[in-house]
Structure 1
Amino acid sequence: MNIQEYENVLSIHRVPASKLCSEFESENFSFETTDDLEKLPNEMIGQKRAEKAMNFGLAVEQSGYNLFVVGPAGTGRMTYALDSVSKVAELRAVPTDWCYVYNFENPDMPLVIPFPAGMGQKFQREMEVLLIDIERLIRSSFTSEVFEKEKRRILDEFRDEIEDLWEQTDAYALENQIKIERTPTGIETIPLFFGRPMEIKEFEQLADTNKKMIKDRENLVENKIDETIYQILKIEDQLKKKVNQFMMETAANSIQELFQPLRETYKESKKVLEYLEAYFHDVVTHFSFFIEDKPQDEQQNIMNALMGSKEQYLRRYTVNLFVSQRNLNGAPIIYETNPTYHNLFGKVEYHGSLGSWDTDFTLVKPGALHLANGGYLILQATELLQHPNAWIRLKRALQTGSIQIENLNEDNVVIPTSGIKPEPIPLNLKVIIIGSYYLYDFLAEFDEDFHKLFKVKVEFVTLMDKDQENSWKMARFVKNFVDQEGLLPFHRRAIAKVIDYSSRLVDEQSKLSTNFHEITKVLVESSYWAKLDNESVVDGLHVEKALSEKALRSNHVTEQYREMINNGTIMVETDGSRVGQINGLAVLGTRDSVFGIPTKITAQTYVGKSGIMNIEREAALSGQIHNKGMMILTGFLSGEFAKNRPIPLSASITFEQTYSTIDGDSASSTELYVLLSSLAEVPIYQGIAVTGSVNQWGEIQSIGGVNEKIEGFYHICKERGLTGKQGVIIPKQNIQNLMLEDDVVEAVNKDQFHIWAISHIAEGIEILTGVSAGNVRNEKGKYPSNTIFAKVEERFNKMYESTKKTKNE
């Protein structure tokens, strides 16, 4: 191929500067600055599919239609979810209040009572007033003259009955010449002698017969005394019961009227009526706690600590306003940022008491599910799945339609606890989980309940069409953000640069990025540089300044690589020609920066049967996709040069000076070029770098990171000095992905640097070597002489001959 033919080849495949970057024309906007734009409500940009899915999911009321919002961070998932839910929630009815009350039949299982929104607090206050009135009226009734008079009558009635029994017993004793004396220490029987108490000396002087007779009479009297005491105990028991019944009736009569208005107010609520009835009977039964307190001694204080004080006991008559919706307008929206089990499902708190932990229904606290019940709960998948128990219990709650509060640590505590199990609350809400594609796929694959409970997928895409509609939406987004954050107004030229940057984010000339988080960072920084220049409006040059400064802050690693290449530590040539050596292009990345660097790829070919050896694979530094690309090379060579005989080839290919894992197939065409160079013994011009994958037919396929790869090689060439012959070969399909930096485009415009786009390996080898590929056989089945393919086939023929000669020997 002569110089003119070579120039024609270069010209045919050269990508013109006009296609290296798609610049948005600011004249497409009719406004001058964002101040001229009307402020509109925030809208979702480029996510029509997500909008439809969100509207559908929020509208369906059947169970299981919870939503999983999936997509990359920065696309506005969270903001849109909150906005969408807010619009729906404000149109819905305010949900129920919930109150926990004491269970008089089973104290360890507090009861829950629903109330219309705002009525829970009213009921709580009514119960507080009721308790005060009950204590006042019971004390008043028990200190009244009528109560004391009736109580004395009852006591006197029983006292008279007891006195009659003792009189009968005394008379019986006297008949038997025995006197009964009742003392604080007990009851004594004394024999009488002529009507007077017999002395011990007199008793001792009696004959045995008389002693026995006196003893017998004493035994009869003592039996009578025992019978009397038994009767008295029965009377006292009856007295206690009668007095207690009288006091209960007094208490009931005194407070009966307090309950009637409440029964009337809550007559439609069966649960409230049942609670009031149980409340009433418990107060009547335990009226003693409402009587005036007596001074307590130390022993009583100890008993109170063990059994509970009056204040602790009266706590059973209070109401735990568990969830109150009195200040809401519409359905509740809860965004739980720390979805631990207790933050979601509530908990039962404890307080210490003499070496143990006690609790009661007033210490039951709500979780996010309770607060969002009747509305919407928004969770981040990453935070939720960090607490596996929370995820499992959330599924259970959605499946059962109820929220059960449990103390997960109750079985593991060293100090004994007094636990309660509150009555479950019916659950009716929409759960919206926001997460990545990875987490969505993970749950979909490994959790069989996931699709049953989250039937609506709201998917946020990463790019949108770069059309007039979305460009105007982008401008309005800038307007709203600028006003919201107090930034300087943006000129339409600045917005045009922002739109270009948005296309660069997705490496697509006809698309825009939906990663608005990255865009907002550029807006803030552009406004900063404009203020620093004492400008009142952000212009295009300020956006460019923001982008360059942003790159500068994170390109330390890039500069280190370039420095090592320039000082020869990493061996990369950008001029001259070499056989079996080529510059491939790779993309490296840090946490906040992605950049391209050239990598020398070399090949050695020789006679043998081992085929192509990937040194990276042998050193365990090659990924599966890269290994696949290497196998494709064997397929191409066999199909092109060895259809009727095996290839007697051994070859080794390596990425020089790389010590980390290599993966991907974007260098497969580069590896094929270097193999062809080595086989044909034709040098490759080192000023041209290559990227692109290849299939078994030699067709070039698109790759990723094309802009970073081109720019990475350009900067190395620029620092060493541009010769006008340097450039990069890319797949033809990647032209639409070109959004190159201005200095690269300018260099191409000046013919200092070049971009060539090809569709077949033959086109690339011609650009690299200046030698015709000759990949089409003539009528005799031969490749044109002095072409790359002819030289390769000639080399293979020599290998066959060498193999045959070795066998014959």
Structure 2
Amino acid sequence: MRDYRRNRTGCHGRWARLQQPPVWRIMSPPAVRRQQGIMNGHPAALPPDRLLTPCDPASFWFETTAELADTDIIIGQPRALEAIQLGLKVAQKGFNVFVLGPPGSGKLTAARELAERIAATQPPPSDWCYVNNFANPAQPKALRLPAGWGRHLAHDMEVVVEDLVSALPAAFEGEEYRSRAEKIEQQAREREAEAVNRLRAEALRSRIALIETPTGFAFAPMQRDQDEIISPDQFQNLSDQERQAIETTVADLQQQLQKILRQFPAWRKEARGKLKALNREIAEFTVSHQFADLKARYASLPGVIEYLNLAQADIIEHTESFLPKAEGVISLFEGPQKAPAQRYRINLVVDHSELTAAPVVQEDLPTHGNLIGRIEHQAHMGALVTDFTMIRPGALHKANGGYLLLDARKLLSQPFAWETLKRALHAGEIRIEALERSLSLISTTSLEPEPIPLDLKVILFGERMLYFLLDIYDPEFPEFFKIAADFEEVLPRDADSIELYARMVATLARREKLRPLHREAVARIVEHASRRTGDSEKLSAHLRSLADLMREADFYAGSDGRNLITAADVEHAISRRIYRSDRLRNRVQEAIRRGLIFVDTEGAVAGQINGLSVFQLNDFAFGQPSRITATTRPGSGRILDIEKETELGGALHSKGVLILGNFLASRYSGAQGFSVAASLVFEQSYGGVDGDSASLAELCAVLSSIAEVPIRQSLAITGSVDQHGRVQPIGGVNEKIEGFFDVCAARGLTGDHGVIIPAANVVHLMLRRDVVQAAAEGKFHVYAVSQVDEALELLTGIPVGRRDETGVFPEGSLNRKVEERLKDFAAVLRSLQKSGEETGGEKH
């Protein structure tokens, strides 16, 4: 094994130091053969230029982003943008849009920008007001006006009512009104007095006096020759005949008096009617004069004219509310005292006077009340009272006639908000109703405002999982959201895309008021965007992380007093972001260095291999080598997955173990049968293990254990394997390579260290520059394999071997060693079985 390491190390030529762009030394013939993929019969290490695809700043024609024109922030999303445009332009019902994609992908920005562009071509929608329903105040009326007219109507109505507050009292205090009112009252008094005087004259002819007392009227007899009233004693001295005649006359006069007095209420009512008619005449004249100009101004709006007519009639009917009231005690059982203007106020719930286009509204807290509006209440003497002036609009009112953007997660997290939105869209109207009332939790009487017609486009944005869950579990969802705009997470990395990406960076810098970026800084951002995707042929479309990186780089540039953001500032921002997040990675690396976590990077051990895992912490991922061990013994062909048995292994990991078991059985069973039992475990793994990216490593460990052939511990391996031994790609390849590199670098690179990866993952390589530099200097190697046999030869240093025409593996090959060991296992099993049968026979 020692000779093998020396030979393998000697195969590598020396590379020049990595530059930007990379410049390599001329390769020696062995290096040329290595780049072609073969060296000494097995795969060669990848050349450094395959480990990183840098962005050449010289490929940019500009010096700084200040020279670049603005472009759309959202690039490379033609499918999603087309879907959004279709949904916003189709007028039919139900073509609302659900924009789906990961957070920070720019889906909200794109949806808002497209909505604003389309809205800019549309006129502002109508204003909406709520006014008093004079016939039924519990059901306020909705009033529709052209955009901007609502504010004018509210102001004009307020002015008219204020004028009437002073004009009406002035009219009723005028000389004309007083004289006419006094005349009516005087005529009423004279009429009553004339009737009484006629009766008095008739009574005098009968020598009977009509006397007015504090309690009413009374009749008294008079002396014959004098105008004096007979005293009671004198009346008693009269003869019976005289007394009876007087009493008869008085009784007749009393009947006449009663008849006259019964006419007084009717006469007074008639007088009050005349006075009321006079009041109405004065009020009509005053109010009509005030409303004449108002009606002329809104003559083109029949709905407004109808309301003004009703308001005018109601003011005339309730003129007394505008007149000064006599001082007195106010009943505690009356409602709160309100000015006359309150009854005739215009509640402008939607005002588009400042808009020049259709509204685009984003509601950040889409609760039930914030969507459809609410009715506020005022406390009065321990009770809650309300009226039409306390109606408040919701997001649907504000966006009506335009576009409403809602976060799907926030909408679904608010009680009944999702059902409220669907109900409004289905009915095509906004009906303001308290949640507790709609749920029948209370039965008190409240306002029932007239519904407002709804005509808008709703744009929901959220993660893909929310979209698919709604589509599965809510049968009404496809009815209301017929358009799905799915945002890509990555963009292709080609010359055109990089040019467009640079313009997007320039536009974003100007929007965020950041310093211009030097072209080298743009090149470093492009490389970082490619690294984020884990693919050298792709660019990240995650706008939030891009903007955050640029903001941080701008801060560092400002701290150093530069007017430009340089590549060093970008690199500093990247490194500091990693530093802030890699506490756990440092703890793991420290534990490996101190020997607390066993990871061998030297020597060779049978049945032991270095696997690679990836840990994801928020936006930061890092790789960690894991020691995988396998033990084998005679058995029935079962591979024991210890992770699964201890319930630490996930379904995907268990699937990988089963696949490698079938590969072993297929290749080595033959006539002898697959007479082996194996066990696999991730050593020092105290958490869950999932994924099949370790199946290649586990297969190699099992074969090493069976053949008793040691595996180089200076290598780590990752990859998935199928039942035919083909190596399949895995995720997190960059982090896995760097995780093992960091362990080896901390112990000292010897030139033997390296990582084996699937050949399909080569296009994903965007390694750190220190890893690439080590590869260029021959201190670290990355091998790409497409078959398990290639990996085995790298790990063991001996040929795997293929069956010849007779079906026999070559002498000294790994497969020959495995097969021979399996035959030994089979023999042991037969021996044990025979011994058991003999023992069983004796007992029997």
Taking structure 2 as the reference length, the TM-score comes to 0.86
Q: Which residue of 1 aligns with 2:595?
A: 568
Alignment of 1:201-600 (within 5 A): 230-291=262-323, 293-297=324-328, 299=329, 301-302=330-331, 306-309=334-337, 311-409=338-436, 419-532=446-559, 535=562, 537-600=564-627
Question: Of the candidates 16, 25, 29, which is equivalent to residue 60 of structure 2?
Answer: 29
Distance 2:706 2:245 in 1: 144
Opposite residue 143 of structure 1, the aligned amino acid is E
Q: Is the 2:70–2:504 Cα contact (8 Å) retained in structure 1? A: no
CA, structure 1 residues 714+171, in 2 after alignment: closer, same or farther (shift >3 Å)? Answer: same
Structure 1 residue 15 corresponds to structure 2 residue 46: yes
Cα separation, 2, equivalents of 1:504 and 1:281: 75
What does residue range 757-776 of structure 1 map to in structure 2 within 5 Å? 757-774=784-801, 776=802
Quote how far apart the aligned CAs of 1:112 are: 1.6
2 CA distance for matches of 1:24 and 1:116? Answer: 56
User: Would the aligned equivalents of 1:587 and 1:705 in 2 still touch at CA under 8 Å?
Assistant: yes
Q: Would the aligned equivalents of 2:211 and 2:220 in 1 still touch at CA under 8 Å? A: no
Whole-angstrom CA distance in 1 between matches of 2:193 and 2:413: 79
Please say if 1:696 is aligned against 2:723: yes
Q: Aligned match of 1:791 in 801, 817, 827?
A: 817
Aligned residues: 800
Contact 1:633 1:696 in 2 (8 A): yes
Q: Give the alignment's Cα RMSD to 1 decimal.
A: 3.5
Please report how far the alpha carbon of residue 414 of structure 1 lies from its aligned counterpart in structure 2 after TM superposition. Answer: 12
2:491 match: secondary structure: strand
Distance 1:568 1:559 in 2: 14
What residue in structure 1 maps to residue 782 of structure 2?
A: 755
Residue 39 (str. 1) matches residue 66 (str. 2): no
Report if the CA contact (8 A) 2:322-2:340 is conserved: no
Any residues of structure 2 matched to 1:718-729 within 5 Å, and which? 718-729=745-756
Q: Is the 8 A contact 1:731 1:757 kept in 2?
A: yes
SS in 2 for 1:12: coil
Amino acid at match of 1:264: A
Q: Does the C-alpha gap of structure 1 residues 641 and 198 become closer, same or farther in structure 2, counting only changes over 3 Å? A: farther
Deviation of 1:453 after TM superposition, in Å, equals: 1.8
Q: Which residue is 2:16 aligned to? A: none
CA distance in 1, matches of 2:699, 2:109: 49
Q: Secondary structure at the match of 1:236?
A: helix
Residue type at the aligned position of 2:434: N
Q: Name the SS for the 1:434 alignment partner.
A: strand
Taking the aligned partners of 2:556 and 2:168, their CA distance within structure 1 comes to: 78
Q: Is the 8 A contact 1:189 1:218 kept in 2?
A: no
The match for 1:654 is: 681
Give 2:176's match in structure 1, choosing from 124, 128, 146: 146
The answer as to whether partners of 2:366 and 2:410 remain within 8 angstroms in 1 is yes
Single out whichever of 235-244 and 469-478 deviates more from structure 2. Answer: 235-244
- Mapped partners of 1:210, 1:415: distance in 2: 80
Q: Which residue of 2 aligns with 1:663?
A: 690
Q: 1:703-757 CA deviation, whole Å, 9 max, x = no partner?
A: 0000000000011011112221121111110000000011111111122111111
Equivalent residue of 1:302, what SS?
A: coil
Q: Take 2:677 and 2:97, find their aligned partners in 1: how far apart are those partners? A: 57
Q: 1:800 to 1:341 in 2, by over 3 A?
A: same
**CA contact under 8 A between 2:749 and 2:779: conserved in structure 1?**
yes
Identity across the alignment (%): 36
2:30 aligned partner: none
Q: Cα distance, 1:634 vs. partner? A: 2.4
**Alpha-carbon distance in structure 1 between the residues aligned to 2:799 and 2:502:** 51
Partner SS state of residue 772, structure 1:
coil
Contact 1:142/1:148, CA 8 A, preserved across alignment: yes
Q: Is the contact between residue 345 and residue 366 of structure 1 (CA under 8 Å) also seen in structure 2?
A: yes
Pairwise CA distance, 1:487: 4.2
Alpha-carbon distance change, 200 to 541 in structure 1, aligned in 2, over 3 angstroms: farther
How many angstroms does 1:470 deviate by?
A: 1.4
Per-residue deviation at 1:75?
2.5
Which blocks of at least 5 consecutive residues in structure 1 are unaligned? none
What SS does the aligned partner of 2:331 have? helix
Match of 1:800 among 807, 820, 826: 826
* Superposition map of 1:171-190 within 5 A: 184=214, 186-187=215-216
Q: Which residue number in structure 2 is paired with residue 687 of structure 1?
A: 714
Residue aligning to 2:84 = 54
In 1, distance between residues paired with 2:413 and 2:54? Answer: 44
- CA apart distance, 1:694: 1.1
Structure 1 residue 32 displacement after superposition: 2.5
Give the unaligned 5+ runs of structure 2: 12-38, 837-844
Question: Which residue does the alignment assign to 1:744?
Answer: 771
- Counterpart AA for 2:334: L
Conserved in 2, the CA contact under 8 Å of 1:689 and 1:727? Answer: yes
Residue 369 of structure 1: how far off its partner (Å): 1.9
Identify which range, 564-573 or 80-89, moves more after superposition: 80-89
In structure 2, how many angstroms separate the alpha carbons of the residues matched to 1:617 and 1:216?
126
Q: Distance in 2 between matches of 1:538 and 1:136?
A: 68
* Cα deviations by residue, 1:588-635 (Å, 9 ceiling, x for unpaired): 122342100001111222233482222121222111211221221222
